Chains A and B, each alone.
Chain A
């Protein structure tokens, strides 16, 4: 697995979910955090794609249910 820029990924989460940098950790999970709903998820996908210059697959968008999972997924591209 390639190393990814975790800071860049964390920045995408902070901006898309409108949360504090301190709240971004591996436990941060979709529909668990009040700010991470389906609307924020769409914004997050767009932010990640722009930040890393990638296009996420359908399955990856749906699978990306935590910050830890997002790191794994982005590393595949």
Chain B
């Protein structure tokens, strides 16, 4: 029985007095009312999609009650869902709509009309349906197992979406509920958007456990978030590294965090020094009556969100570790011999390093870039994470590097190869001499745009500003995370390819 099914939610409703609350409007539904509201919206979709095959529906999602109801109604349907970021650049959105031939796009106003009409008579529903034209008909086949498409990269302009099944969502949800020991007594105010796999998993798990769920789009820099924390006294708080940076900057001791029993962090590596500061704060708060815990977690959208967590009592000794695989999951290290003649991976037994592989019920059906790629699925047993890890004698893993060329800026995953491709197609690159090119390098929170080769006099000064401006707009990141560096000679490998490792060392420490 899936956590979103009517049967399951009705069962939860018997065992909880909690509510699902819209933090903005204050509207709240208990679990029985929530189920009823979702069912009403389901009937509108049934009328709308009558005689259609499996369709692709996109939601411009925000953390609101209406949006959540529509999302659940669609999860219960036979159709496939794609979550878009609300407030996203319209050009990027248009590109996604075209690439994926999205049959129905639900924006905020349509979502609100749907909710309003769902409680009305049949004729009202019929007249609403006239306003919801399905596009790209007849629809191209979508594989029956694909339930949900989630972005891999925040809003970096990439059209890559992860193909997830209902069972992926269920496995991920159950596993997290189990190791965080979530119950109907828990309570959460959302601090992550629902189009992001981590944010979505918070919503899923708290509904599956019958918790109080307060939906909000506020950040720590908004007064409103702190007002909601004071009002609803949540027990759980979730954030990406940048979220905790903001909390530490604001000063933990002065924030209304008293009701919390659990702080959880995922979405990229949090600096060891910040983990230790958080840990120390929690230790100071803990006494006989209060027991707060810090969960450092690890995952990817390709595994629906979560793959590992570090047992809270292993801090501070194991700071920097990701810990062990979540319940139902398993890790292995593979020594990648791709550069050698035999091209065969071999598993490493003990305390050595290798690429981290994961298997479990939450491993997705692969990536899509367009509608055609929704016809097929790739069932991979072992997911290659692209991260290099080592294993200690107690079975805990630590990430020591990355194989794939991507970095994270404020938690947003940015593929350096993609950045390079966009830059090389831009007008800025067209004005370069033949001997010069633009490359992308760097590490988390430090993107370095590398001008390589011979440049005309003053060219670096001229191009620096427009280049940063172009890249910040393209990637929607703040300019303080970007730098332009010029090098005359690109470091090359033995087979004359760009040596990206050397390049990174060279440009990261350049002035």
Q: With contacts A18-B472, A38-B219, A40-B478 known, is A62 near B246, CB below 8 A?
A: no
Assess whether B480 is interfacial by the CB under 8 Å rule: yes
* Residue A39 CB within 8 A of the other chain: yes
A39 neighbours in B (Cβ, 8 Å): 242, 410, 477-478
Q: Is the CB of B478 within 8 A of A62?
A: no
- Closest Cβ–Cβ distance, residue B110 to chain A (whole Å): 24
Bound Cα distance from A62 to B218, whole angstroms: 12
Main SS at interface, chain B: helix
Q: Does B254 sit within 8 A of A, measured CB to CB?
A: yes
Q: Is the CB of A38 within 8 A of B254?
A: no
Q: Is the CB of A62 within 8 A of B226?
A: yes
CB atoms of B249 and A45 under 8 A apart: yes
Query: B95: shortest Cβ distance to chain A, in Å?
Result: 20
Cβ-based interface call for A32 (8 A): no
Report which of B221, B223, B251, B255 forms a contact with A38, defined as CB distance below 8 A. Answer: B221
Interface size on B, residues (CB 8 A): 21
Interchain CB contact under 8 A, B222 and A31? yes
Contact A42 B219 (CB under 8 A): no
Query: Which residues of A lie under 8 Å from residue B221 when comparing CB positions?
Result: 30, 38, 41-42, 61-62
**Cβ of A61: which chain B residues have Cβ within 8 Å of it?**
221, 249-250
Interface residue tally of chain A, by bracket?
A: 10 to 19
Within 8 A of A (CB), among B238-281: 242, 245-246, 249-251, 254-255
In chain A, what residue has the closest Cβ to B87? A34
- Partner pick for B245 among A31, A40, A42, A58, CB 8 A cutoff: A42
Residue pair B226, A18 in contact (C-beta under 8 Å): no
How many angstroms from the CA of A40 to the CA of B254 in the assembled complex? Answer: 22
Q: Contacts A39-B410, A42-B246, A58-B255 known; A63 to B478 CB distance under 8 Å? A: no
Most chain B CB neighbours (cut-off 10 Å) among A38, A39, A43, A61: A39
| Residue interface bits A43-77, CB-to-B below 8 A is 1, else 0 | 10100000000000111011101000000000000
CA distance A24 to B97 in the complex (A): 36
Question: Smallest distance from the beta carbon of A70 to chain B beta carbons, Å?
Answer: 13
Task: Assess whether B250 is in contact with A62, with CB atoms less than 8 Å apart.
Answer: yes
Q: List 17 A-B contacts (CB under 8 A).
A: A18-B469, A18-B472, A18-B479, A38-B221, A39-B410, A39-B478, A41-B221, A42-B246, A43-B478, A43-B480, A45-B249, A57-B254, A58-B250, A59-B254, A61-B250, A62-B226, A65-B223
Starting from the known contacts A39-B242, A43-B480, 10 additional A-B residue pairs (CB-CB under 8 Å) come to: A30-B221, A38-B222, A42-B245, A42-B246, A43-B478, A61-B221, A61-B249, A61-B250, A62-B221, A62-B223
